[in-house]
Structure 1
């Protein structure tokens, strides 16, 4: 499984509006059918330049599903955020491959 991770730095001036928007945007990304779930997290560090940072981790069904997302959906969905928030939002994206997962089991 591959995680498609977006890390976003959000200017304080648009933070509240962006947070409402991203909670509508994530279901749109999931509606492409290329991901099984998404997790929105806030990065808990004080940014030197101000603003707030978030990470969204989308779990893809497969490498092929992620590649299909890039071909069929990514440009359109990315453009929505860039048109709305322009220079008040900085994003970078990474791919993470899950090697193994562990859980704690209490008995």
Structure 2
């Protein structure tokens, strides 16, 4: 099992709009790819950064599912986020493997 984490630091002025959009539009679109079995959305409480920091986490059962998502779905979905919130956020992505 793998955890795909996307950390986003978004301007405070659009943080509520971003969160609503994530819940209603983006996360359902990511899950509709059927490459992830679950997800969670978290807000970083003690972030040292300006703006609001969120983590979107998605669980993939196999590396193949994750790689298929990256090759065939991620570019278009990331482009939608970029278009909607252009120059209002930065994102960092990481892939982690569950140990237990």
TM-score (norm 2): 0.94
Instruction: Please give the residue correspondences for 1:1-107 in structure 2 after superposition, counting only pairs within 5 Å.
Output: 1-24=1-24, 25-48=26-49, 50-100=50-100
CA distance in 1, matches of 2:38, 2:61: 9
CA distance, structure 2, for counterparts of residue 47 and residue 15 of structure 1 = 16
Q: After TM superposition, which residue ranges in structure 1, 4 or more long, deviate above 3 angstroms?
A: none
- Structure 1: gaps (5+ residues): 101-107
User: Unaligned 5+ residue runs, structure 2?
Assistant: none
Q: CA RMSD in A?
A: 1.0
CA distance in 2, matches of 1:87, 1:61: 33
Aligned position for 1:105: none
What are the Cα deviations for residues 46-100 of structure 1, in whole angstroms up to 9, with x where unaligned?
434x211001110012100000001110000000100010111110100000011
Alpha-carbon distance in structure 1 between the residues aligned to 2:99 and 2:16: 35
Give, in whole Å, the separation in 2 of the partners of 1:45 and 1:39: 18
Distance 1:28 1:47 in 2: 30
Distance in 1, Cα, partners of 2:68 & 2:45: 32
How many correspondences in the alignment? 99
What is the distance in 2 between the residues matched to 1:77 and 1:86?
A: 14
